[in-house]
Amino acid sequence: MVHDAHKKWLLDDSIDLQTHFLVSANSRVDNLKATYLKNVGSEISEEELEKLYDLIVTGNSICKNYQDFYHKPLPDNMHLLSPEQEIIVEIPNTEYSHNHYNTSADYYYHHLKVEHNSTLDFIGENHKHKHYLKGRLDALIADKDSNIYILEHKTYATKPRIQDLNSNFQFLAYTWMAKQLDIGNVVGIAYDGMQKKVTGNLKDLFYREILYRNSFELQEFEEFLTADSIEMALQTNFSKNVPFNNCWDCDYKLLCDTQSKGEDSDYIRDTFYKLRDRSRE
């Protein structure tokens, strides 16, 4: 809801941010009530709506405090080039003919999650396969010298460290993607952070930072992206990479564990997973 309010405020700052948020919040409540009634057959109780109402109270305060502190969507030296949009960028050196692929697999479409808003797609046309990276940018903005930045609105519980922002994989991917569009001098990420707190000193609740990635980092990202996409396309073996949290929140943990234990992974895949219907996209 906060994200949606910022998107609308960028396009129309004649209406204050808080109003944009409340419109979005009311729509979220109405949609939840309608979905609940359709699926359950009865109206949702106020008790069940409490968590959503708590989020709305917090989000409303964030938006009010943001406008009280910044007064307008962008700094004085920045202007909007393009609002939120999905972009698709071809990955270099990744076109292969049909016979390079494992035809026993679902070779036409493969899907890799890069970050919660980014995906890696392999699209086959006329027995040729091209590889693309797809992502959704909050906005593209520019300064008075026509330098271009990818605007990223983020909320956080604890203020992020600058070293963590500078090593953020999603920001690296977005910077590389924007540079491939040939739209001008893409400099980096305009990070716009908001702490999820209702009260406090306003200057401590918000954090704006310009994040740069150098040419070596971008080139390394491109090389790894190319190598990973080829590996997926050729259906080669993947090395297992278990993160520090032991994959507790991974949607594919059951399937991965079954394969590791040498159990019936075909049954798990066929029973608990289904192929995404890309024809509706």
Of 22, 232, 246, 267, nearest in space to 129 by CA: 232
The three state secondary structure string of 171-220 is HHHHHHHHHHCCCCCEEEEEEEEEECCCCCCHHHHEEEEEEECCHHHHHH
How far is residue 237 CA from its own chain's centroid? 27
CA 276-280-281 angle, to 5 degrees, is 90
Report the C-alpha gap between 224 and 170 in whole angstroms. 14
**C-beta separation of 164 from 193 below 8 A:** no
Residue 67 Cα to chain centre, angstroms: 24
| H-run or E-run covering 125 | strand 118-125
Q: Reduced to 3 states, what is the DSSP secondary structure of residue 194? A: strand
Inter-residue contact 61 to 53 (CB < 8 Å): no
Give the Cβ contact number of residue 247 at 10 Å. 15
pLDDT for 228 equals: 81
Q: What b/e sequence results for 222-246 when a residue is b if at least 16 CB atoms lie within 10 Å of its CB, and e otherwise? A: beebeebbbebbebeeeeeeeeeee
Place of tokens 């109003």: 19
CB atoms within 10 A of CB 162: 12
Contact at 8 Å (CB) between 208 and 75? yes
What SS3 state is found at 271? helix
Q: What is the pLDDT along the chain (281 residues), one digit of tens a residue?
A: 999 999 999 999 999 999 999 999 999 999 999 999 999 999 999 999 999 999 999 999 999 999 999 999 999 999 999 999 999 999 988 876 555 444 333 333 333 333 444 444 444 444 567 788 999 999 999 999 999 999 999 999 999 999 889 888 899 999 999 999 999 999 999 999 999 988 889 999 999 999 999 888 899 889 888 888 877 777 665 556 666 556 777 888 888 878 776 788 889 888 988 877 766 65
260 close to 247: Cβ distance less than 8 angstroms: no
Whether 75 contacts 207, CB under 8 Å: no
